[in-house]
Amino acid sequence: MKHERPLSTSLPRFLSAGCLLVALGCNKNNDNIAAIQYLCASEPPADPNAVGADRCGATDDCSDQNAPWKCLPKEPFVADGRGWPPPDPPAECILKAMRVTPPDGQVLDEPLNYVEAQAVLDTSRINGALNMATCPMVKLMTDGDNNAFLSGQIILTGKTLWVDKGVTLFMSRNAALFQSTGNCGLLGVNDSSACIEFISVGGASPAIIGDGTIDGQGGEPLVGHDYSWWQMSYALRAIDGSIGNPTLINLKSGTTGFLLYRVTLHNSAKFHVKLTSSPAAGVGAGVCDTRADRGKGFTVWGITLLTPSKWANSAGFQLTPSWARNTDGVDPGTTNIAYCGVIACSTISTGDDHIAIKGGHWVSNLTIAHNHFGTGHGMSIGSETYGTYKSPDGVTHLGVSNVDVYDLTVDADSRPVGLDAHPGDFNGIRVKSDESRGGVVDNIVYRDVCMRDMVNGLLVSTAYNPLFAGQSYPDFRNLEFHDVRSVTCGALQPAVVTLEGYNQTLRPTITLDNVVFDNINPKIGVASEFAQFKLGPGDVNFDVQGHGVDVVSNTQTGTSTPKECHFPTLPAPQPPPGWKF
């Protein structure tokens, strides 16, 4: 539904007219100010069980020469004819739940004593089944009303963990079960290595699948304490500290052919998925030369990630995306290289980056397609981009390269964000680095992107943390944006665009083709410097002139139509009765 309202009647009562007029460009004659465009409708979510051409990604054709980027492997379990769900594993590989998922406002009881906790949690029987030679797959399933598992660290090496429909696998709230340096669970300690992860993944072709849920309980008080993992992290925010909370799923170096399929992820204490994986055949020439090869290294398909997943914790503390600090969604390249991968048909709302391609290790040949993001810090690259990798054929690979992102929605209007929302919660696309961690970012292409109520719509920044210094200079090279649209529903300020290279020597080439931001001031809503811009053939409705900027324009006014945007209804916490937003 699209509404046009004159500026004088569209201002929220809690936003001053002067503030918005400054953002839009003041004009003494209000009649000359264009009406604000509103796009507030949402559509039903896609059916994950749709068949035929209606199924997500089913019509992507790698042979289409008119759209060569629109290329995905077949969906897991569909391509090989097995179908979903797969056959059950042997009886000894099926574990039945012995607990009941607590209602909202409550948590599962856990003993404080370490030895007692080890005895009563499900850790031993899950890891025991995963270690059995007869169990290539371990299935967690319900047993009558029992539908919950509670566990310390799970070790998954070259096996499949199936979290069945109706099951919730909870990470323990007992920090002693995740101790690494002695600081895990200690408030106010800046130690990024303090804790081990919840699910440790490695080996050849490991997989986590199913229609169930994995819940890290990041917002719940730790056993024996009155504070949560997230409160520990938030306490270090003022000093940009990094608490060592457990990652929900962490892939070890050397993992090959990882699959994450269909599962729902909630409330990780820190990052949800640290992803390092490559094809079993390695990374040499011919392994992943075409887009059709992608997915051999790793596949993330059809997951739902919602953090926070509920309005308040068991102590009555309101949970917001801002409080869920450092809870990145899916981060390729965090631990080591990530090569030849696909992230598709997923929904992500969280307290930090939706996807962050971490170029501290070489990351290349990725397709990120048909995804829907809610609140979060954006479809991101960086901040680390300095990675290097010398493959067995003697070739040295740098930073982040060869990434296709297409059919993406980013919708900050997807949920009420509650208290303490800040501009960083509303990012669309960002490429970020600084001189302490910079390196090569090259051949990154975004197509068919819709954003709603962004603060930072496009953010290409070489000064991510201006307090950090060094000589690893950001070297952004080729970035392309095609058919990108930013729209407004209930935003308190217009979106801004920042497109910056590092200096006169390290200037990216940025292509903008049919890039339209509703309600932007075409001049003061844009910051650009040290870049070479190629505009067109589609219209660009803002000015990219700036210091150290060259512009070559091939736009053909009137020949392009702004991308038509549709936003699906995304999962969101249920607000209390009577909540107004």
Q: Is the omega angle on the peptide bond into residue 571 within 30 degrees of 0, that is, cis?
A: no
CA distance 77 to 578: 43
Q: Give the active site residue among 331, 352, 413, 442.
A: 352
Dmax over CA atoms of the chain, in Å, equals 78
Amino acid, res. 14: F
CA atoms of 272 and 164, how far apart (whole Å) = 19
CB 57 within 8 A of CB 406: no
Pairing of strands 2-5, 36-39: antiparallel
Q: Choose among 327, 332, 328: nearest CA to 258.
A: 332
> Could you say which of 377, 411, 453, 518 is catalytic?
377
Based on the residue annotation, tell me whether 370 is a catalytic residue of this protein: no
Placement of tokens 């339209």 in the chain: 516
Q: Helix (H, G, I), strand (E, B), or coil: what is residue 319?
A: coil
Which tokens in the block code for residue 478?
């080729």
71-80: burial string, b at 16+ Cβ within 10 Å, e else: bbbebbbeee
- CA end-to-end span of the chain: 19
Q: Which helix (H) or strand (E) holds 266?
A: strand 264-266
The Cα–Cα gap between 357 and 195 comes to: 23
User: Could you confirm whether 272 is annotated as catalytic?
Assistant: no
Contact present, 195 and 184 (Cβ < 8 Å): yes
Residues carrying an active site annotation: 352, 377
